[in-house]
Amino acid sequence: MLTKLTLKTVTERSNEFIVAWREFAPELTLVGRTLAQFETEKLLPEEVQQRILAAKAICQGLINERDQARVALKETLVSLSDAVRGEASHGLNSNFYRALGFIPKRERKSGLTRKLKTPNPPTTSAA
């Protein structure tokens, strides 16, 4: 049964070629290739696939390494900002603290909100 030759079926079809070539004409040279040369050529996509899998594993390892480095950097940033807050000459109201992206203590709002008291609307009696 002939199937359409696609990138997904090329390996299966090449195996069929090898079996038939080996069985019926092992000494034949086709398109300048011997059976042994074709068998070697058939292995190339599999070797490249193995290299791709190895590269993916390396990439996943590098992504993990990057993520761990980012977590460590985040912890360092928190420690550094805490150190600036605790520094006598560069505390919560310093220009340095503001330049780091924080809101100085003197500029912070209290957070207290007061609700306006509205008197009950007068009721009109419909008599």
Q: What is the C-alpha to C-alpha distance for residues 96 and 42, in angstroms, rounded to an integer?
A: 65
Tell me whether residue 99 is in a domain: yes
In a domain, 69, yes or no: yes
pTM of the model: 0.58
Residue 50 lies in a domain: yes
Please check whether residue 95 lies inside any domain of the structure. Answer: yes
Residue 123 lies in a domain: no
Query: Which domain does 61 fall in, by range?
Result: 10-104
Cβ atoms 11, 3 nearer than 8 A: no
Q: What is the pLDDT of residue 87?
A: 85
Residues 84, 96 contacting (CB under 8 angstroms): yes
Contacts of 39 (CB under 8 A, 6+ apart): 18
User: How many whole angstroms separate alpha carbon 127 and alpha carbon 124?
Assistant: 9
- Asked whether residue 35 is assigned to any structural domain, the reply reads yes
Structural domains in the chain (count): 1
pLDDT in tens, the chain (127 residues): 567 888 888 999 999 999 999 999 999 999 999 999 999 999 999 999 999 999 999 999 999 999 999 999 999 999 999 898 888 888 888 888 888 888 888 888 877 777 887 767 666 766 5
